[in-house]
Amino acid sequence: MKLSEKQSKIYQEVKLIFPNDRNNPKLQYVNRDWIFPNHIDIVIDSASEFIKTYYPDANREVVFLASLLHDTGLVYKRTKDDPIGHEERSVEYTKNILGRYGYPEELIKEVVLAVSATEPENKFETVEAKIVRTADAYSHFVSIHFFAKANFADRCEDFFKWFSKKIDTTYEKIVIEEVGDELEPIYRHYRRAIDRYINSSI
């Protein structure tokens, strides 16, 4: 999507908070040169397409900002290898940066709702949240995300345990019905592969 001058500045600032260190294997998946083209940019582009196709009256500014900011907590104030709690940190970062750029409080609240909706257990309360939540999940199915995570894992067993749970929670996050229908064959394929792995390991 074409960005305004303010959006471009925020995009570049957010990109720079992600590390550019290829020497730490545990941080490879949040390296800015990996996560932007393979996740965040896909979320932004997919969310924009969902607006055009399904929700033309959605607030594009809210959707863009939430798509860009939803994973900032993966690096912002992160102190452990485990990413648990990154949604809350993403919300904090979102409030800070949008406040600095002079966005009105009401718009910031809408962006925060959409960022929060990317947490599987959270509710989606607005159309914009529905779009961003779905775009976040969608990006994992249409990118190399799942394959890359296997490379980032220390052991095959660790990846399998993560993937067995992640594939279900990711698919369940899709709340635009037509998108769920599009991805169902891919999801079923992955589930069959998991079942085959389990059966071969017994």
Q: What is the DSSP string of 77-99?
A: T--SSS-TTHHHHHHHHHHHHHH
- What's this model's pTM, rounded to 2 decimal places? 0.92
As a whole number of angstroms, the distance between CA 41 and CA 1 comes to: 10
> Which residues, including other chains, have CB under 8 Å from residue 138's CB and lie 6 or more apart?
42, 43, 46, 174, 179, 183
Rounded to the nearest 5°, which phi and psi values hold at 163? -65, -40
Specify whether the CB–CB gap between 149 and 28 falls below 8 A: no
Q: Best-predicted range by mean pLDDT among 68-82, 154-168, 173-187? A: 173-187
Fold of 5-201: Hypothetical protein af1432 (1.10.3210)
52 CB-near residues (< 8 Å, 6+ apart): none
Residue 183 and residue 135: Cα distance in Å, rounded? 12
Per-residue pLDDT tens over the stretch 79-130: 676 666 688 899 999 999 999 999 999 999 999 999 999 998 888 889 999 9
User: For the chain, which residues make up each domain, given as ranges?
Assistant: 5-201
